[in-house]
Each structure stands twice: as C-alpha cells, then as structure tokens.
Structure 1
C-alpha cells in the first residue's frame, strides 16, 4: 500500500501525498501553482483545463489530451502529466510559437487548453489534415479570436514536421509503477490488476465508487465538491483492457476507451465512428470507456443505441461466474439495469459487418460537437436482392432507456426500402414513444424527428444525402 501518488509532472518525477479523489485541476492550481490550466465549465466541455497524459503504449510514450477538471489525482498514478507550462523548454513549443506569431490568442483563458490539444495532435499525427485539426479542437471553446488563425497555426506546425512532447524516457516509467492501493488523508484508491481482484473488491466493498474513465462521475465530483472516501479503479484490470478480434466479432473490454474503440471501428462502421467523434472530444474519448458509457444507463447516452442496432452483446461478471445477454435486455428502467451489486460489466461484443448490411446512426443535437443528444437513432438492415431480410432499429433520448423499436423493424422486413415501406416504419417509430419535453426539445419535436430519421436513412442509402451534402 502506498501513501502517495507517483507520476511525472512536466518531466519531473514526483511523489505526492494528496487525497486520491482530489481533482487534478484543483491540485495543479493549489499545489504546484501551475495556473496556466484554467477552470471554465468544470464539466469537461470547454477545454480550458486540458492537460496531456502520457502512457507507454507498445514501447512508446503516447500523449493524449484530457480534461483535468473531472480527473482525479489517483488516476495520475504511474503516468506522465504535462501542462501548458511543461511544453516550453529553452524555446517555445512550435504550437505556442505559431499561435504567438499569427495572433491566435487574445485573453489567454482558452489558449492554454487549445495549445495542449494541438500539441497532442502534432505529436501523434504528423500528417494531420484540416479534419484532424478540427477534431482535435472539438473539445476546446475559443471565446476571442475564432478558429481560423488557430487552425492556420496548427497547419504551419504540421507542414514543418510536427513536434514532440518533452517528458521522461520510456525506461523511466519503471520508477512510477502504479500501486495496488493508495491511502491518504482518509481516502482509499484501489487499483486491481485482474478481474478476480476487482470482483473481490466489488463484493467486499459494495459502497466504494467504481471508477472507469470518470467522464460522467467526475462531473458530479467537480460540480458538487463531494468526497470519494473509497474508490475502485478499473483502469489497470487486464481483462477489462483487452480488445479481441475474430473473423465475425470485435470484443471490447469494459475499460477500453472510446478513442481505442474509434480506432477499431472507423473502417468497419464509418457512421458509428462519426458518432463517437461527436459525442466525445479527444479529451473525453481518451478517458471515457465503453463500459462506463453503458453502465451509467443514461437515456441519452449515445453509445447504446448504436450498439443495440449493431446487435451488441454484453458480458457481466461476478465471483459466481459470467453471464451474457443482448445489450437491449441490459436496460430495465431509468438508470436501472440488470447489473447486480456484486457484478461488473466485463466486455461488449459486436458483430463485424456482414454482406448486404447497411448501418447508419444519426445524432440530433443543438450543437454538432460535444453536445447532449435530443434524439439519437440507429438503423441496421440486411438486404438480399433489394429486399430487407432483417432489421434492427434503436433510439436514445426517446424513453427512460435506450430502446429497440421492433414494430418499426417489422415494417421493413420482406419489403424494399421504398417510400411506402419507410412511411410505415416512420409511423411505427412515432407511435412507439411518448418522450418527455425539456430544454433540448419538445415531445412533439422528438417524435417527429425520430420518425423522419427513417426517411433520412432511406435517402442516405439511395445516395441522395451524399448529393445534397455536396451542393
């Protein structure tokens, strides 16, 4: 058991005694007084608090941007942390220099987070195009200059060959291996390494916070300044970090991040990849996990509708064994699931695309990036000779749980995807739901949009939507 957290801060090895549930942002500003990292929203939306996290991946150090406002110090154990102050050596980091030269910054409140995000991009992607630059900036709000000069600064650094992140060597990480347990100032942070260890902790400490990426739980921690006296982290559980591939399926351990999921599904399901980029910025995707997104059981979570339409299966584990079920059966009622007190989500399994399959998922929200869904609809059909032989349709934001719409599926099976069949499908979608009205949209609006997505799916598959977008 350790009484402190060991990690690298801007290249320097530290051994810090601090409550492990302290947010990284709070510690940075009040401890070492690294005040370049700002607090804006305290919810992981604005990016002013962005830092770089370094981990050894396949023998190399990979840095990714993350939101320090919703991250705990316990999650720093064994890692490298880089703030905007740490980017500057004897000279400015190339991103800092480029933004200073072309006037990309005014007030400086947002700029440190923007610099961090772009520094992570140009370190990992030396051939970044404008799409990658905009994706890297999706979690950073600019309140002053607008994005044009910021993007131009990023382009300049990419054209000049990118830039590395100053930090420790790979070998140095052996000096900061994560502890099994950290106890400090009345708080305990458990870091099990195996699924059996995790399950024993889950059984013996049922009141402990089960922490995956923390992109949801961390918001409450930051907003309400509560305490987590005991935490069980899933980040180092080997089985939960596995990614398995077979000729027919992909299997993601529950602690696999959305950034890692994105890398595997982008070529298989491009529409799903677009959704992943939209519901989580780089900062969120680098921390948020597939199991956490499912386990929160939010009716507006964007992952479950897409996964349900794809025919995903979830595996639950306890010391008594494992059990699997279709993902749609996991959700019972608002924030209620099949998960028992002594169980954890172990993995999620999705089929590879099959011949004749078409899949699309559509997110309707007030803002394109980094926004809560008003409606999220996912459609998957299998066709032979133009006839639909199977269909899966699921929605989020329309009920207390992510919900499959079997009546709408039945309306398509045995028919062509023509206006008449899709009209019947749309009517079934409209009749299946009695959604709430809230600030995101009225019940009437939600029902209308959800039904219209069936027609959008038809036009998308016909190529009409591609032509419209090209105009």
Structure 2
C-alpha cells in the first residue's frame, strides 16, 4: 500500500507502484490540469511539486510527473495545479494573466507550478533564479518575454519577504492555507516501507528508464532506492567523499562538499539537464545507464571514482573505469546494485575542469564531453586523469593520455603531443550527434579548453585542433 498526500487529501492506494505519478493523478484521480506532453521530461507540461521532510524540515521541489514512479511518492506531498488554487487566482496566476503569458494554455500549469515551487523555497528571491526554476518548462506559442515579465512581477513581490518562505506564501495566498498542516500530516504517515525483493528491479530516479520502458515498468516488480535514507547521504572523511547511490543531481548541486571542492561546480551543474530532471535523476543511475556520453560518468571518471557493488549482503569495490566492457555492457551481475560512490576530492594544488558540447548549450545531450583533473608541483604535472564521452562505444578514461602527462611541463609542446595521443585513443562513429571527424575535432577543442582554463597564459590558440 502506497500512502502519501495529494494536494490536501490523504491517499492510500494499491495501484502498481511502477505507474507514473502523471498517469495516477490523471486517470485514477481525474485531475486533468497536469498535462501530457512529451512523456520524456523535456517539455515540463506535467510538472508537479514534491514536498518531503529532510532533516526535520519540509521542502518542495519540482519534477516532471511523466518520469516519476508512483512508488517514489510514498510518504511525500504531491501538489498539482489544482492543489495550488483555493478559489481565486493566485498571485502567480494573476501575473501570468496580466502579462499575457498564456496563449493556448497547454504549458501554463507547468510554468505556474514551477514558479510557485520557487516562491515557497528558501532561496534568496531574484529574477534570474526565478527564471532558472522554470528552465525545464517549454512554451511553444506565447513567447518567453511575457513569461519573464510575470516572473519579474513575482520576484519583486518576494523581495518584501521578511518571514519564512512558506509562511509568506500562505499569507500572500500564493499557496492555500492547508500547506501549513502538511509537516504534521507527513509525520503521521510515517516512514515509507520499501519492501526489498532480491529479484525485483532496482529503481533510482527513473528519468532514463521511463523514457525507454514506460509501459513495461507499469507491470514489473520494483525496489525504490530513493526510499532508503542510507543511500541518500553525502559524507566527507578527510580528503575522501562517500556518496550514496540514490543521491540526486540536485543534492550534488546544493552540497557544500562539492561546492567547496570545485570552483565552477554551479556551472557544471547547469550544463546537465533541467531543474525538474535534476531533482529526480541519480548519479549512480547515470553510471548504470552506460551511455557513452553520460555527463556525470565522464566527470567522475576523471576523479578516478570507485563504486561499491552489493548483492545479498556482500560488497565489492570496482573502479568506475572498469565498469564498462562494451556498449551498454557492464562488469556486474544483474542482481548487483551500486550502493556507494567513493572518490578523493581535489586538493589545493589540484586543477579540475568539465567541458561539454551539445546542440543547445543547456538541456541537451552531449555530442562530446570531457573532464580533466591534474595536480601541479614546481611547474610540472605530477598527476593527470582525462576522460571523454561521445568518442567511442563506452564512456572513456584515456589512460595513455593521462599517463603521458605525468612529469611534463605545462607547455605548448606538451599540449601538442597530448592532442596526438588523445586522437590515438578514441574511435568515434558518425551518428545523429555528428560525424566522426567532427567529434574528433570537438574533443581536441575540449582538451584545449582544459588547458586554457588551467593555464590561461599559454598561447593555446596557436595550435591547430587536429595535429597531422
């Protein structure tokens, strides 16, 4: 039995936990305000809010309900567009109406829900952060300027806030008064019971699986890893980070451990998917998906990450670079699951960079991506790790290129030789993301970008991208 709160009503259901939240709220609860658009998490028309208690504090985040399994709703507060309205238009809805920010109206519920979620978050109010909150919502007919004006109206209002975000939102009728009782009601629901079945399929965020296997997952036995608190922790012990397999990308984005260790962490995060997807997608899921261009797979390969695999109580540690045997072929038993990701955090003398090229700057799959981690001492590179995606059948750790850099000076000659070495280690193919030669050129440019970031004084522009 799955128990949660849907808008202001308590729900107990024995509907299969593999059904999506979108299908449950529309077909089982007849709440039609949440729209069916792409069913791939791209358009945001199906956006809902998910409220949950974390460290004894209630917080809300937006998700695309077309990719969220009902099992992950257990013990949470799910808010649809119907749950935001009491009787009259809310200030967010009024702002959209007054600025002409809706035309056909199909996308409007998703925008309203996303912006309302922003209003009840504790983030410092600001126009740009409000726009970021809607970065997973697409409008096909109105144009975005009117939506941006509506967002500015709302953020100007939020600037006056002098009390906790939720209290202010209730007072301003941004959300109904029943929100005030949700923490106690969630407490009464208790901790969700995640019945562990060794033969059941293990589910993290589901953001990739539900794109590929939507109907099949409605009937499979599933275990929901997001319900396991032990898999949702990020811990630092000295210079080593231990990260649970169910940690989401948004948890990484907000983690002080990562922000302190990586100077450009916020920039890297914005290159990966939308807010709604980041709120669900897990890093371990990115690993297991085994895409040759998985952004976090490439990033963590350059950090020489290890994964802890578990089956029937037995653990084994495997370097991430040894997980991939061939295209979508993994060095693990079907019953084994990742429980932990382990890696050393960059130190003071370390340099790290992640680069990505895609058809769109944001919210797109990479054509080619790359990460590089080096350590310097007395002007020499004493350690290097270079990874690349989109240039072979598996996410690539470029071991020869990494080893080549050891004990080399950071010079144009070193970079020129490195570019030749990199080309010898990759085998891109021509596909929808680009021709093979184009991908070779892209990776060469990304390696140059690493050097530009690390050594801004080097005249990198004098080097041709693809050496003869």
> Aligned in 2, Cα 1:126/1:322: closer, same or farther, shift over 3 Å?
closer
Map 1:290-309 to 2 at 5 A: 290-309=283-302
Greater shift in the superposed pair: 237-246 or 268-277: 268-277
Per-residue CA deviations over 1:136-169 (Å, capped at 9, x if unaligned) read: 2221112123323322322322222263544342
- 1:219 offset after TM fit, Å? 1.2
Question: What is the alpha-carbon distance in structure 1 between the residues aligned to residue 153 and residue 380 of structure 2?
Answer: 51
Alignment of 1:216 onto 2:213 = no
Tell me if 1:145 matches 2:147: no
User: How many Å separate the matches in 1 of 2:283 and 2:3?
Assistant: 27
Partner of 1:116: 113
SS of alignment partner, residue 408 of structure 2: coil
Name the CA shift for 1:301/1:109 in 2 (closer, same or farther; >3 Å). Answer: same
- Residue equivalent to 2:455: 462
Q: 1:245 aligns with which of 222, 232, 236?
A: 236
Pair 1:315–1:54, CA change in 2 (3 A): same
1:124 partner SS = coil
The equivalent of 1:87 in structure 2 is 84
Confirm or deny: 8 A CA contact 1:259 1:285 kept in the other structure. Answer: yes
Equivalent residues of 1:243, 1:251 under 8 A apart: yes
Q: 2:187 aligns with which of 157, 174, 178?
A: 174
Can you give the 5+ residue segments of structure 1 that lack an aligned partner in the other structure? 181-190, 193-197
Is the 2:34–2:81 contact (alpha carbons within 8 Å) kept by the matching residues of 1? yes
Tell me the alpha carbon deviations over residues 196-247 of structure 1, each in whole angstroms, 9 at most, x when there is no partner.
xx4xx22xx2xx221111111111233x566333111112223212221122
| Equivalence for 2:388 | 395
Quickly say closer, same or farther: Cα 1:270–1:141, change in 2 above 3 A: farther
Offset at 1:27? 2.1
Deviation at 1:179, TM superposition (A): 4.7
1:78 to 71, 75, 78: 75
What do you get for the CA RMSD once the two structures are aligned?
Answer: 2.1
Q: How does 1:125-140 map to 2 (within 5 A)?
A: 125-140=122-137
Number of aligned residues: 441
Instruction: Give 1:54's match in structure 2, choosing from 30, 51, 54.
Output: 51
Q: Which sits farther off after the overlay, 423-432 or 456-465?
A: 456-465
Work out the CA distance in 2 between the residues paired with 1:275 and 1:438.
25
Deviation at 1:461? 2.4
Q: Which stretch of the first structure deviates more once superposed, 77-86 or 153-162?
A: 153-162
SS of alignment partner, residue 358 of structure 1: strand
Deviations 1:416-460 (A, max 9, x none): 322221111112112211111111111111111101211111122
Distance 1:270 1:120 in 2: 28
Q: In the alignment, is the contact (CA less than 8 A) between 1:418 and 1:458 conserved in 2?
A: no
Gaps of 5+ in 2: 159-164, 462-468
Question: 1:126–1:158: 8 Å Cα contact kept in structure 2?
Answer: no
Between 291-300 and 125-134, report the one with greater CA deviation.
Answer: 125-134
**Is the contact made by 1:10 and 1:83 (CA closer than 8 Å) also made in structure 2?**
yes
Cα-to-partner distance string for 1:167-210 (whole Å, 9 max, x where unaligned): 34211113333553xxxxxxxxxx14xxxxx4xx22xx2xx221
Query: Partner of 1:382 in structure 2?
Result: 375
